[in-house]
Chain A
């Protein structure tokens, strides 16, 4: 079974233990999120031409802090949040015009986003939501190799944004479970090759996440 499917199943297993009750917390909260992400094949553009990067799926984790808005709040039905996330994907292979070679090394991403959540609430204990966030990400090319040979390294800070949908389950008045999907994208980071040339690359990430929030 593909690793990404194993991740999704593992993330969903805790749902079997949950007995949801209706609650609408308002005020501050903190939480943690665990998820699995899959990077789309990326185009790397250099002065010498274009090449293609393929990545392995990987786990990601996030820490969040925010504020649940009270029902009827003039801002809207939802919450405001600061999110820090760590992603790290191994480069599986690199496509060139004359062949595909094994890759190596990791692309590590630390992002700090300001998220806004909009909810569709009624009398059910669960509420669907959509979210949009924006901020910055530091991307690090960690010892990237091609066919065992050093290729690139370095880091780049870029603008990043995130879109998502999911379901929020109120387990108690202060404990919420979040099951969701996130799409994460950034402007193109620039990395330096071992010979001093540089390249820019795409970054598109699809993630399935499971989070827990504690209100106080």
Chain B
């Protein structure tokens, strides 16, 4: 009971807050007594055929300053033959009909005031328009002003005719239009229009040159992303232009970063590189318009890294995969092969390093190194604080191949899945080496199973249809004998496949998701490499390398998101928690 009452009290207090803080809609003039009114005009005298606007200020009891109540007024003229309110759209505009004097009366809330207006017989002799020339971007406007010079006998006067008598016209409405108050709009991206103000056959002119639309605002996407350090990517800039259109201006804007220790960005193109943990504001600017986004660089700052395999020996003509693993200021470790620069010893031709993409780097043993004097491979990463590097050695030899072995010796796969063969070569010096990546692969029947023979796909068999086929694997003049047999069967997936499990990882570290497909009949298959992986929020977790590290995700920022795994027409999910 006590707790219930207390909870109720807290709820009511939260709901009541500190009282009403909304925006009032009621005006003071709704109820304060109006004591008097005052009528003003630009000039008490206007020429016949022109007009002027009147303004009414009301004085209210209790208020020290007058309030504009022009819109509440009802107007009358003592002589509509001299001056009259003939503009329905603008009730407070009075027009001079004929020479003479008229008393104009404004009435509101039972209070009246008068204004004496003189209509002269002056004739307009010239009209000057300002500005005389103007350039206007498509979609923008320019306000012209027309000042008329009048002559009444020997008396010369001037009067603003912009909205009070002048008739406005454009010589090229397809280039620019003008309304009856002198407001011109450029409607084309190029061309010139003559703007004319006319009263009683007397005119004045000005030139308006329409120019290409300019950007009013720029939007940078992705908005406020979190991205791991030692990553690259690009931003996109979209401009909203004066003609109402929007278009991609990524390559037209100038890109800048507020914190080049956190991330750098190319001035043209929007390509960025994240370096150290921190935040920076990315700005895209174009002719005075700009847009920004905040980039949050996560995953720590690189402290050191290692290259593996360390001190490797390769047979001439073979390749091996190199991996660079970074250690970061927050204790995280992750693959940074794609970011590091890998260089053979300068001035030598013992080895070459290629980086096909992602985190894949391949070391090729090109020429034999002197015995006892291996060559070096240097990995380096340049940060604002300096360049970090690590070295591994490579000895290239030329032994004679003795034999080849393959594992597994045969393979059974469900159609639609894949698995890898591995080939080990043994040489006459007693050494052995994984030569899968140097082996020539082929399938006797690609209608039943295919086998990869390029780059990282070498030795990867994929089941296509039910049946048996043999795989040919050859290296160094030898062929695996007997040829391995691949048996492909068609199986029916159980529901809710593939099976993946929730994972947790700290920011900057990698975690491996494994996808398992369970089939009717009780068999199962690891389909991690055959699964399409994605993260619901790349600000929380991203896939490490879609091509070379399927199923591996890296924590970007604290939080949780959903990892999706799609295989065989099914999609299942599991959460990943970044702690």
Which residues of A does B touch, CB under 8 Å? 39-43, 46, 48-52, 76, 95-99, 101, 118-120, 128-132, 146-149, 151, 163-165, 183, 185, 193-195, 197, 202, 204
Contact = CB atoms under 8 A, between A and B. Distances in A.
A98 B32 contact: no
Contacts, number: 108
A147 B2 contact: no
11 contacts: A40-B19, A41-B19, A41-B20, A42-B19, A49-B30, A98-B67, A118-B2, A149-B62, A151-B31, A163-B5, A165-B9
B28 A101 contact: yes
B28 to A, nearest CB: 5
Nearest 10 A/B pairs, CB to CB: A147-B62, A40-B19, A49-B26, A41-B19, A130-B5, A49-B25, A43-B20, A163-B9, A48-B30, A51-B26
Contact of A132 (B5, B23, B31, B61): B5
B258 to A, nearest CB: 41
B13 interface: yes
B18 interface: yes
A41 B28 contact: no
A46 B26 contact: yes
A5 B184 CA distance: 62
A202 B20 contact: yes
Contact of A52 (B5, B24, B27, B28): B24
B289 to A, nearest CB: 34
A50 B9 contact: no
A97 B16 contact: no
Contact of B24 (A95, A118, A120, A194): A95
Interface string B547-561: 000000000000000
Given A50-B24, A52-B22, A148 B62 contact: yes
Interface size of B as a range? 20 to 34
Contacts of A98: 27-29, 67
Contacts of B23: 97
Given A148-B62, A204-B19, 12 more contacts: A43-B22, A49-B25, A50-B22, A50-B26, A52-B22, A96-B26, A97-B23, A97-B27, A98-B29, A118-B2, A165-B5, A183-B12
B302 to A, nearest CB: 55
Contact of A163 (B1, B12, B67): B12
B266 interface: no
A118 B12 contact: no
B63 interface: yes
A130 B18 CA distance: 22
A147 B61 CA distance: 8
Contacts of A99: 28
Interface centre among A48, A96, A195, A202 (most CB of B within 10 A): A96
B24 A97 contact: yes
Nearest to A181: B9
A96 B16 contact: no
Contact of B9 (A51, A101, A164, A195): A164
Contacts of B9: 130, 163-165, 183
Contacts of A46: 26, 30
B20 A40 contact: yes
A195 B20 contact: no
Contact of B62 (A101, A163, A165): A101
Contacts of A118: 1-2, 5
Interface in B201-228: none
Given A48-B26, A99-B28, A130 B12 contact: no
Contacts of A195: 31
Nearest to A163: B9
Contact of B16 (A40, A50, A194): A40
A149 B61 contact: yes
B10 to A, nearest CB: 9
Contacts of A185: 12, 16
Contact of B63 (A39, A42, A132, A147): A147
A147 B32 contact: yes
B387 interface: no
Contact of A96 (B2, B20, B27): B27
Nearest to B23: A97
Contacts of B63: 101, 147
Given A48-B30, A101-B62, A165-B6, A41 B21 contact: yes
B408 to A, nearest CB: 73
Given A101-B62, A146-B31, A185-B16, A96 B24 contact: yes
Contacts of B18: 40-41
A132 B12 CA distance: 12
Contacts of A204: 16, 19
A50 B63 CA distance: 20
A89 to B, nearest CB: 13
A119 B24 CA distance: 43
B539 to A, nearest CB: 40
B455 interface: no
A141 to B, nearest CB: 14
B492 to A, nearest CB: 64
B12 A120 contact: no
A212 B528 CA distance: 76
B384 interface: no
Contacts of B28: 96, 98-99, 101, 146-147
A130 B19 contact: no
B1 A76 contact: yes
Contacts of B62: 101, 146-149
B505 to A, nearest CB: 47
A89 B245 CA distance: 57
B35 to A, nearest CB: 11
B33 interface: yes
A49 B22 CA distance: 12
A207 B67 CA distance: 40
Interface centre among A42, A49, A149, A197 (most CB of B within 10 A): A149
Nearest to A201: B20
B8 A163 contact: yes
A148 B63 CA distance: 10
Nearest to A202: B20
A131 B12 contact: no
Contacts of A129: 2
A31 B63 CA distance: 48
A62 B140 CA distance: 68
A74 to B, nearest CB: 13
A181 to B, nearest CB: 8
A25 B33 CA distance: 61
Contacts of A146: 28, 31-32, 62
B579 to A, nearest CB: 39
Contacts of B13: 183
Contacts of A49: 24-27, 30
B21 A97 contact: no
